[in-house]
Amino acid sequence: MESNKKEKSKLEIKSELISNDLSDLLGTLILILLIAGICGYVGYIYSKDNNLSISHGIIFGILFPLGVGLLELFDLNNFFCFILYTIVYIAIVNFIPTFVGGIILFLLILIFMIDYIYIEEKDRTEEINNIIAKNNIVSNKSYNYNTDVKEVYDKSDEYLTSSEPKIMEEEFECEMCFKKISEEEYETYDGMCEDCFMNVHIDDDGNYHDEEIF
Convert the pLDDT of each residue in 170-193 to its tens digit.
Answer: 788 888 888 888 888 888 878 888
Looking at the structure, do residues 90 and 147 belong to the same domain, yes or no?
Answer: no
Residues in the chain where the model's pLDDT stays below 50 = 1-2, 160, 163-166
Looking at the structure, do residues 103 and 135 belong to the same domain, yes or no?
Answer: no
pLDDT of residue 198: 80
Examine residue 45 and state whether it is found in any structural domain, yes or no.
yes
pLDDT of residue 103: 93
pLDDT of residue 61: 92
pLDDT of residue 99: 93
Are the C-beta atoms of 39 and 65 separated by less than 8 Å?
Answer: yes
* Domain range enclosing 172: 125-201
Looking at the structure, do residues 94 and 192 belong to the same domain, yes or no?
Answer: no
Looking at the structure, do residues 109 and 133 belong to the same domain, yes or no?
Answer: no
Looking at the structure, do residues 16 and 112 belong to the same domain, yes or no?
Answer: yes
